[in-house]
Amino acid sequence: MSKDPIIQSPELLRRLLRAKDCMDAASHEDWPVTRLASVSHVSEAHFARSFKDAFGTPPHRYLLTRRIERAAALLCDSELPITEIAFQTGWRSLGTFGRIFREITGEKPGTVRRQARAALQGLGSIPACIVSAAHRPDLKTSVLEKRRLSADGIKETQPKGGKT
């Protein structure tokens, strides 16, 4: 099997984006590969393989990440109990929610809430949109650019042209 990135057709990418958009819009819902493949009008195996190739993560992991992002926002911006946040974001088990949340963020949900409240007290007059933007993940390099760099043997953190 070749290590070169797979070039996907624009039509397939549009179909995959349709499924990704559905997960983004309703991340609290169940999105088994069967349902996602039917939204994309491709077979289940082809969908799962193509989604991972296109976005760098399997569909289920992408959905879990979206749920955790939404949960983290609710933890910071609402007074809802952690259990209610877990159920609103699509989790059926509080234990699973806590385990996956910590696996993805590195912190427990309660810790994220306490840190957000402490940060807000210290920031005073800074607009919430600026604070939120500062806490977004660093997504400066697209998936295709990362593939090109890895195919060329260039480290992701190295600037173009090899200069520091």
3-class secondary-structure state, position 80: coil
Provide the token pair at 104: 């993805």
* CA–CA separation, 49 and 4 (whole Å): 15
Q: How distant, in Å, are the alpha carbons of 76, 86, 114, 155 from that of 79?
A: 8, 13, 12, 42
Does position 146 have pLDDT exceeding 70, yes or no?
no
Confidence of residue 123 (pLDDT cuts 50, 70, 90): low
* CA–CA separation, 137 and 108 (whole Å): 18
Determine contact, residues 100/86, Cβ cutoff 8 Å. no
The whole-number pLDDT of residue 119 equals 78
Q: For domain 64-132, say whether CATH 1.10.10.60 is its number.
A: yes
Does position 157 have pLDDT exceeding 70, yes or no?
no
pLDDT digits (tens, 9 = 90+) for 59-90: 999 999 999 999 999 999 899 999 999 999 99
Residue spans of the domains in the chain: they are: 9-56, 64-132
Record the pTM.
0.68
pLDDT digits (tens, 9 = 90+) for 33-58: 999 999 999 999 999 999 999 999 99
